[in-house]
Amino acid sequence: MAQFCLFFLLLLLFVPCALSRSLSSSNPHSQIFDVAESIKKTVQVLSPTSQTFQQEAITSTASNTSSISVSIYPRSALVKPRHKDYASLTLSRLERDSARVSSLTMKLTLSLTNFTHSDLKPVQTMLQPEDLQTPITSGASQGSGEYFTRLGLGQPAKEFYMVLDTGSDITWLQCEPCSDCYQQSDPVFNPSGSSTYSRVSCDDAHCSALEVSACGTNACLYQVSYGDGSFTVGEFATETVSFGNSGSFSKVAIGCGHDNEGLFVGAAGLIALGGGTLSLPSQIKASSFSYCFVDRDSASSSTLDFNSARPGDSVIAPLLRNSRRSTFFYVGLTGISVGGQMLSIPASVFQVDGSGNGGIIVDSGTAVTRLQTTAYNALRDSFVKFTQNLPSAGQFALFDTCYDLSSMTKVSVPTVALHFTGDKTLSLHPKNYLIAVDSSGKFCLAFAPTEGSLSIIGNIQQQGTRVSYDLASNLVGFSPDKC
């Protein structure tokens, strides 16, 4: 009898646990989302004692003579957020993100119209030699760019924090003398201190490849403008670019910005990883590059790699190009599923049409994935159907589907997966589509609609996944948990 009672007691203790595990794993179309861990990160990122990266901790490694690897890390590691709470930080991030999307949309729209490069000229008032006086610092406090790496420039090399951007083709940094320079973490680059700095002449092929250029005093002038009104203006030059101990490349064309205004606070400039002829991968003749973004509120780092082998478990998709806009990396997306059910989205939504409209790109600088309204509505409606048991929390900024998870530690949510050409499927982690917008337990579906034709896979959906761009074979690889 005593043995029976003991057995019965053990049964009561362990069977519920077994049942709980069974229930959580019996449905392949749902996942457990760690609410408590996500809220914890929102508190840590604003804590005065939270970790930040030290310059000496930024390292570069080379696994062989041809590959290059440098560290990348989130903005909060370089520029400490100065917000009263996480909700205001989120609003700031979303404001930058909306500006980013406007910039990409503007670039595409301009490419699809009948304009010529000769129609576009740099802002002349910013380029007069008499205006180039001693440096002053200015710029918005919220900053721009979510992920950074450290790049060496000049000879002898000096390292600078630079924003990673797959949506740009012109690498640039702030240069002395400054007409107007925003605040950056490193000293402003001084071309006179480098033995390899050389101005690009007006008849050079590099100058002709610029979308916006003019001829100054014995030098090619460039301008890069962004959709939010931010811009950089200066002289185009060639310089030695180095990647720590991984190697260096000479005569890389970059913009030396003497007037730089807008939302770039913190970084010295921008590394262009786009598909155009002037981008860094194109100029150093890289056959591939890859990156893995850690959580934006994390104190850890990952790497930006050039010419490295793609992880063997990558989900492979076609890397497509738009003949009207070589910068962007389009991907062969065929559909999206929620809770294991494919959404009713016409295939044409994710395809580039004959006029160059439509399609979906992978972008490092956009945070929130943008989908054409019909596709977004299908995604949202399906997600809401599977989460009727979760308390709704209305809207937050551009997010229209939010939940109050303040009373929960963990919660079951439906799976969300991206489906690519060739029946390849990338299943997203819950933290890639359900994000905290404050520290009180409010979480929102991290997708948004766009009225434009261009859809964008943003870096929230890329976090924790190594994204590999095989430029030689025109393939994109997604490998989860390879940071």
In this prediction, residue 73 carries a pLDDT of 86
SS (H, E, C) the chain: CHHHHHHHHHHHHHHHHHHHHHHHHHCCCEEEEEHHHHHHHHHHHCCCCCCCCCHHHCCEECCCCCCEEEEEEEHHHHCCCCCCCHHHHHHHHHHHHHHHHHHHHHHHHHHHCCCCHHHCCCCHHHCCHHHCCCCCEECCCCCCCCEEEEEEECCCCEEEEEEEECCCCCCEEEECCCCEEECECCCCECHHHCCCCEECCCCCHHHHCCCCEEECCCCEEEEEECCCCCEEEEEEEEEEEECCCCCEEEEEEEEEEEEEECCCCECCEEEECCCCCCCHHHHCCCCEEEEECCCCCCCCCEEEEECCCCCCCCEEEEEEEECCEEEEEEECEEEEEECCEECCCCHHHHCECCCCCECEEECCCCCCEEEEHHHHHHHHHHHHHHCCCCCECCCECCECCEEECCCCCEEEEECEEEEECCCEEEECCHHHCEEECCCCCEEEECEEEECCCCEEECHHHHCCEEEEEECCCCEEEEEECCC
Q: Which residue has the higher pLDDT, 299 or 346?
A: 346
pLDDT in tens, 120-172: 454 443 333 222 221 212 223 334 567 999 999 999 999 999 999 999 999 99
**pLDDT band per the 50, 70, 90 thresholds, residue 443:** very high
Quote the pLDDT of residue 115: 54
**43-79 tens-digit pLDDT:** 988 887 655 544 433 344 434 447 899 999 888 777 7
Confidence band of 15 (pLDDT split at 50, 70, 90): very low
Catalytic residue selected from 97, 165, 438, 470: 165
| Percent with pLDDT over 90 in the chain | 65
Domains 134-306 and 315-480 agree in fold: yes
Tell me how far apart the alpha carbons of residues 431 and 251 are, in angstroms, rounded to a whole number. Answer: 42
19 falls in which pLDDT band (50, 70, 90)? Answer: very low
In the sheet with 434-436, reading across from the earlier edge strand, the strands are 402-404, 442-445, 434-436
Confidence tier at 227 by pLDDT (50, 70, 90): low
Q: What is the mean pLDDT of the chain?
A: 84
pLDDT of amino acid 79? 72
> Where does 134-306 sit in CATH, by number?
2.40.70.10
Q: How far is CA 151 from CA 154, 157, 279, 345, in A?
A: 10, 9, 15, 42
Q: What is the mean pLDDT of residues 333-346?
A: 97
**Residues of the chain with pLDDT > 70: what percent?**
84
Q: What pLDDT is stored for residue 112 in this prediction?
A: 77
Q: Which of 113-127, 171-185, 286-300 has the lowest mean pLDDT?
A: 113-127
Best CATH choice for the domain 315-480 from the list 3.40.50.150, 3.40.50.920, 2.40.70.10, 3.20.20.140? 2.40.70.10
Do the Cβ atoms of 416 and 446 come closer than 8 Å?
no
pLDDT of residue 325: 86
- Asked if 404 is an active-site residue, the reply is no
pLDDT higher than 50, residue 267:
yes
* Annotation says 363 is catalytic: yes
Model pTM score: 0.86
Over range 412-431, report the average pLDDT.
97
Least confident of 19-28, 110-119, 164-173, 319-328: 19-28
**Is the pLDDT score of 190 beyond 80?**
yes
pLDDT at 273 over 80: yes
pLDDT of residue 80: 72
Lowest mean pLDDT among 74-83, 336-345, 431-440: 74-83
Confidence of residue 107 (pLDDT cuts 50, 70, 90): confident
Parallel/antiparallel/unpaired status of strands 68-74 and 147-153: antiparallel
**In the chain, domain spans:** 134-306, 315-480
50-56, long-range: CB < 8 A, 24+ apart: 50/76, 50/80, 50/299, 51/77, 51/299, 52/76, 52/77, 52/78, 52/80, 52/299, 53/77, 53/78, 53/299, 53/301, 55/150, 55/159
Q: What is the pLDDT of residue 384?
A: 98
- Of 169, 228, 363, 438, catalytic: 363
